[in-house]
């Protein structure tokens, strides 16, 4: 048994579908106490504001970044988003236009959204994005390797990508909607963390079902178990289909319940979204149908 198979076999993370559903229902019962403007503001500050369109261009990305810059002046009472997330080839565009010092530059790289390309391409894409200014790189785990049980090959690839990122953070996307099964989501989460991931992320939001409360619960449970074994804190990112304030609030509540308050800041909790930013801002301002970004 290789060391990665051993990690999986020794895990005690809950994977029973009915028991996970029961735990989520308990968390939902406590949502009313979280429906507060200050919580909405905290969630807003943990958003990775995203544009990942086939039609993205230098001009469209520049305009996108201008809104993020303007936000600080237009709404100084609120903390800005945690990061902007773009395709890797736009890292330099963002770096040259972003004026807000506390907003990170995140990119998707390495054969996004499938993760199916040469390891050398993933490494080069990551290194180029970081050299152009990326602070964070979101990469898709090779699910083919995972499902074949090629754990060492899978982890070696992720570790190579991590090394190529140097000081930038790596968020490993496990595409939970493709895995579906809680045990497979557990396996992917553990392997990502044992490959030095700084965050584990639910989904690309492009092909399969996006984030789900069930996947989030399993992933956060894996983060907790990993932290108890190693002392290293890994972040959690929900992405794909998180559009409403209520959606975001549930992921916030899951992180709070499983991992605790210390995980509820932008260093360890993110939500990848586009429309969510406007919806939660509307609730923060109490202005229905507000549209800013």
Give mean pLDDT, residues 91-99. Answer: 98
Give mean pLDDT, residues 10-35. Answer: 97
The tens digit of pLDDT for each residue in 54-85 reads: 999 999 999 999 999 999 999 999 999 999 99
3-state helix, strand, coil in the chain (%, to 5): 55, 15, 35
**Could you give the C-alpha distances from 230 to 151, 194, 223, 226, 281, in angstroms and in order?**
20, 10, 10, 6, 37
Q: Where are the alpha helices (DSSP H) in 138-293?
A: 143-148, 151-165, 176-179, 182-193, 213-230, 245-258, 275-285
Long-range CB pairs of 3-8 (<8 Å, 24+ gap) are: 4/151, 4/152, 4/155, 4/191, 4/194, 5/149, 5/151, 7/190, 7/191, 7/194, 8/151, 8/186, 8/187, 8/190, 8/191
The tens digit of pLDDT for each residue in 246-265 reads: 999 999 999 999 999 999 99
Percent of the chain with pLDDT over 90: 98
Residue 59 has φ and ψ, to the nearest 5°, of -70, -45
* Model confidence at 96: pLDDT above 80: yes
* Model confidence at 245: pLDDT above 80: yes
Residues 6 or more apart whose Cβ sits within 8 Å of residue 230: none
Alpha carbons within 13 angstroms on the beta-carbon side of residue 43 total 34
The active-site residue out of 48, 135, 138, 247 is: 138
C-alpha 226/C-alpha 18 separation (Å) is: 23
Q: What is the pLDDT of residue 257?
A: 98
C-alpha 161/C-alpha 120 separation (Å) is: 9
* Model confidence at 1: pLDDT above 80: no
Q: What is the pLDDT of residue 289?
A: 86
In our burial notation (b when 16+ CB lie closer than 10 A, e otherwise), range 170-203 reads bbbbbbbbbbeebebbbbbbbbbbbbbbbbbbbb
237 is catalytic: yes
Give mean pLDDT, residues 192-198. Answer: 98
Q: What is the pLDDT of the chain when averaged over all its residues?
A: 97
C-alpha 208/C-alpha 155 separation (Å) is: 23
Q: Are 214 and 20 in contact (CB under 8 A)?
A: yes
The tens digit of pLDDT for each residue in 161-191 reads: 999 999 999 999 999 999 999 999 999 999 9
The active-site residue out of 104, 162, 171, 201 is: 201
């Amino acid at each position: 048994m290789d060391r990665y198979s051993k990690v999986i076999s020794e895990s005690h993370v809950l994977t029973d579908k009915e028991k996970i559903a029961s735990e989520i229902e308990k968390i939902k019962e406590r949502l009313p106490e979280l429906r507060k403007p200050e919580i909405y503001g905290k969630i807003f500050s943990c958003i990775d504001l995203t544009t990942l369109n086939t039609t993205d261009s230098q001009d469209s990305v520049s305009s996108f970044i201008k809104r993020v810059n303007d936000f600080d002046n237009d709404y100084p009472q609120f903390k800005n988003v945690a990061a902007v997330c773009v395709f890797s080839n736009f890292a330099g565009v963002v770096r040259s236009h972003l004026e807000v010092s506390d907003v990170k530059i995140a990119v998707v790289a390495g054969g996004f959204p499938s993760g199916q390309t040469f390891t050398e391409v993933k490494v080069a894409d990551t290194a180029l994005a970081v050299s152009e200014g990326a602070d964070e790189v979101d990469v898709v785990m090779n699910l083919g390797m995972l499902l074949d049980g090629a754990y060492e090959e899978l982890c070696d690839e992720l570790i190579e990508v991590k090394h190529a990122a140097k000081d930038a953070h790596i968020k490993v996307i496990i595409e939970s909607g493709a895995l579906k099964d809680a045990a497979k989501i557990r396996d992917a989460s553990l392997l990502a963390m044992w490959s030095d991931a700084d965050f584990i992320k639910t989904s690309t939001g492009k092909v399969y079902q996006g984030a789900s409360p069930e996947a989030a619960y399993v992933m956060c449970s894996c983060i907790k178990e990993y932290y108890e074994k190693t002392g290293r804190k890994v972040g959690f990112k929900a992405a794909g289909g998180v559009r409403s304030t209520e959606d975001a609030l549930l992921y916030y509540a899951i992180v709070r319940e499983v991992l605790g308050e210390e995980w509820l800041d932008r260093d360890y909790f993110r939500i990848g979204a586009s429309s969510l930013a406007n919806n939660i801002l509307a609730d923060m301002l109490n202005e229905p149908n507000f549209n800013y970004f």
